[in-house]
Chains A and B, each alone.
Chain A
Amino acid sequence: MPIHIIDRRLNPGGKSLENRQRFLRRAKSLVQGAVKKTSQERDIKDVLEGGEVTIPLDGMHEPRFRRDGGTRDMVLPGNKKFIEGDYLQRSGQGSAKDSGPGEGDSEDAFRFVLSRDEFVDLFLDDLELPDLAKRKIAQTESEGIQRAGYTTSGSPSNISVSRTVRRAMARRIALKRPSKEEIEELESAIAACADEDERLLLMAQLEKLKAKSKRIPFIDPLDIRYRRFETVPKPVAQAVMFCLMDVSGSMSEHMKDLAKRFYMLLYVFLKRRYKHVDIVFIRHTDRAEEVDEQTFFYGPASGGTLVSSALQAMHEIVRERFSPSDWNIYAAQASDGDNSYSDGELAGMLLTDKILPVCQFFAYLEVGESGGSAFDLSDSSLWTLYERLRNSGAPLSMRKVSERSEIFPVFHDLFQRRDTAQEKAAP
């Protein structure tokens, strides 16, 4: 009898991938809820690692007609001491030898592992930068160039060497141009040849080959190809996010931790969802400085507080590098709300005159001590300032955070997709 032995190990894997995606799509709202819940308990770096989530099985339950209750009979192995007519207590042993965990019970909550991508996608699914389309997008279309195949004419700087050489080689093979080795071989044969007649014959052959190789050039102008570029209109989707963080002495470790978590989340969100978002990190005490992300998140600093310094720095950077006509400008500020009294007026002026007019959106996050009791006393000076500005119609969002677990909901709140937010508001 013939026996087939087949190695299937090299077959493409992921046969269940589609079923898995269907499952995730179906369970999306449940999984999303679970993802958010899980991420509250985790470090932001871990959020990116994906991981195990638990969802209630309710929506994903596959019902069957099954029976329970009633009188039950069972035959079991391992009788040691019972004789016919004995009675067993129900509570103790009785439940222990239940006929195994019922299918329905053991599946009540359903645990499974999400991959990193699945996890982050679900986590960031309904977030976006508000008003990413610039208000005057129609006028500010710029032109970009993009590769579009090859052409036979063009500037020498655009010669595509690999394509040209490839075509030349194809032509040489097609026309049977004698190769260098062939000629060398013939030459050595002539050198080794003793017989005069044959030598002459070989010489004639060599001449012929040499002539042919001269006739058929190594690279012909016909072979040359140029890279072609096309100009395409490119809508402005450039955006820059300014992260302004207060690192002054009045910020406790807890507050700094909250602020950093917030920015970490913002950073992850922007990096993942938008290709063309620049991020500018500014931290300030009574002086402001632009720093790289490493310093921003991990570098120590301390000092007094002058919020206007950060706003001033932002304003200067905008003027130098990010022309408001070309860039969508966003800013997120985190602070304990403490500002030196004399600075309030300056900060307010900078905001109203310089910053807010060019910003699409400005988010202000006020961090407080764990427990949040300080908030109940009175609003901080910054909070009052921003509240006034918001009431006069500036694109400002403000939130207060005092616990780690609040970071995720607040973040979510700030960057929730606008249309979904409106849908929710309207019954």
Chain B
Amino acid sequence: MTERLFEGADWDFHTLQRITDACEEVATKDLGLNVYPNQIEVITAEQMLDAYSSVGMPLFYKHWSFGKHFAYHEASYRKGLMGLAYEIVINSSPCISYLMEENTATMQTLVIAHAAFGHNHFFKNNYLFKQWTDADGILDYLDFAKNYVMQCEDRYGRVEVERTLDAAHALMSHGIDRYPGKKKLDLRAEEKRAGRRRQHEEEVFNDLWRTVPAGKSKTRSALSIERRRKLLGLPQENLLYFLEKSAPRLAPWQRELLRVVRHIAQYFYPQSQTKVMNEGTATYVHYRIMTKLHQQGRISDGNFLEFLQSHTNVVFQPEFDDQRFSGFNPYALGFAMMQDIERIVTRPEDEDREWFPDIAGKNDVMGVLRDVWANYRDESFIAQFLSPKLMRHLRMFHLHDDPEERAGIRVDAIHDERGFRRVRRELARQHDVGYIDANIEVVDVDLSGDRRLILHHHVIKGAQLNETDAKRVLQHLADLWTYDVALIEVDANDKVLREYVVSPRPISAVA
């Protein structure tokens, strides 16, 4: 029998090393995972709270909103309303996993298998992460961002910087490029570029230019709308990008701050699209690794039972009428689907052969799963791989809630032959960020008139913007644009539902 990795609950750093080695053996040999080098850091509960308030990143620029989140988390943690995560993992190379010091040895094993191998493999191989994030550069870039914000505060004052960041944060969810085509961000080069730009400005600065009399401005023939929109790169749904490039009166450092916020938003964009897959992958991987270690006798029966208990808690899915229900648990759904794929590949039934001819009975579980993990996101993953058997098992049904409908909420489809495809399509749509985020884009700027910025919100299924929030965000937008901003909500037939117009505040009033 192989030697036990640990006995009981205690661990030290040698134990962690042995655990990591054992996990790695299973991960690479049995599962064929391909991961970034691992860096495992042991932290305290307080440090975990710190990490929570800066979106899990080890370093971040200073901003009051993080202090707010910290105060909030701390209060609920102290009152026992909230437990802390066992780990946090960062999509970087080397891949950093934070482990809580309170975890038992079993929990540390679980967490290492989950984060350092499951998440790590997903980060390295999934196409969205490859396309949109730069794992090598992110920590350097955050370091740059932190220092840059600090420098700006020194040079231009804290209030001014805070004002710009507040506005940028409000627009953060609309500071993302959704479609590839641009070349991948190289964050290290970004950082150098910003430095060069500043240096160049300083080198060519000549105060005399200010005194040169300006010639008579050329009368520009009115641009055609088409031409104008093309020049401004419109329509543009990345509001932060648009402001950075085209806002008429922003200082260079303000543009740079918008850029920082935009890059960070872009870095997190893949994570929001792959919650189910990411957690599903990590959970499946830790389950396989733990089971294997137990089979090899490296984990005792007692410790394995402890693992099973926390594993079961993690993948618990309350039903819709349960008090604890708050939507689908991505761990539960993801893990169930991964296991279901394993079943389809190894022990398919006739139904599966009909629904999944490509993978049913293929027998190479890890090959299929690795391919899935690399090439799908939540929406496409569910749309492709949610099987009728799992829908039956989870007893899924689709509700259609039309406020106009007097009779109530209609049950549109259930887990039966007629409903499978519709339920699946609807669930996939629920995980599509294109449907979750409001579809807002800049459509025009009134260049010949008062420079009003015009945005459209394409209303889907009658869900208009929350009024108070919309006004506040638009206020921020107008402050950056420094002229009026109009947001028009239009439905699918281009019918105008509502129009907001907001004027910028004078700077003194804001400060």
Contacts and interface: CB of A to CB of B under 8 A. Distances in A.
Contacts of A21: 67
Contact of A78 (B21, B44, B62, B394): B394
Contacts of B397: 75-76, 79, 82
A70 B460 CA distance: 8
A402 B169 CA distance: 49
Contacts of A73: 398-401, 412, 426, 429-430, 461
Contacts of A104: 466, 468-469
Nearest to B408: A87
Contacts of B74: 112-113
Interface in B468-496: 468-470, 472-473, 476
Interface in A1-16: 1-9, 11, 13, 15-16
B433 to A, nearest CB: 13
Contact of A90 (B16, B98, B319, B408): B408
B223 interface: no
Interface in B373-403: 394-403
Given A1-B38, A16-B53, A78-B320, A70 B418 contact: no
B464 A67 contact: yes
Chain B interface size, as a band, is: 35 or more
B193 interface: no
B302 interface: no
Interface string B53-77: 1100000001111111011101100
Contacts, number: 263
Contacts of A24: 67
Given A70-B462, A90-B408, A4 B94 contact: yes
A146 interface: no
B20 A5 contact: yes
A87 B16 contact: no
B16 A64 contact: no
A291 interface: no
Nearest to A101: B326
B466 A66 contact: yes
Nearest to B397: A79
A111 B426 CA distance: 37
Interface string A55-67: 0000011111111
B461 A68 contact: no
A63 B49 contact: no
B414 A79 contact: yes
A77 B396 CA distance: 4
B75 A3 contact: no
B62 A18 contact: yes
A19 B101 contact: no
Interface stretch (A92-100, A204-212, A302-310): A92-100
A73 B71 CA distance: 35
A77 B40 contact: no
A83 B398 CA distance: 10
Contacts of A63: 170, 468-470, 472-473, 476
Contacts of B404: 71
A71 B42 contact: no
Contacts of B54: 15-16, 19
Kindly name the residue among B40, B46, B72, B409 whose own CB sees the greatest number of chain A CB atoms within 10 A.
B409
Contacts of B68: 23, 27, 60, 62, 110
The 3 A-B pairs of least Cβ separation, nearest first, read A78-B319, A70-B463, A23-B67
Given A63-B469, A65-B437, A85-B410, 17 more contacts: A5-B39, A7-B42, A9-B42, A19-B64, A24-B67, A64-B469, A71-B462, A74-B401, A75-B328, A76-B325, A77-B320, A77-B395, A83-B411, A96-B321, A97-B325, A100-B326, A104-B466
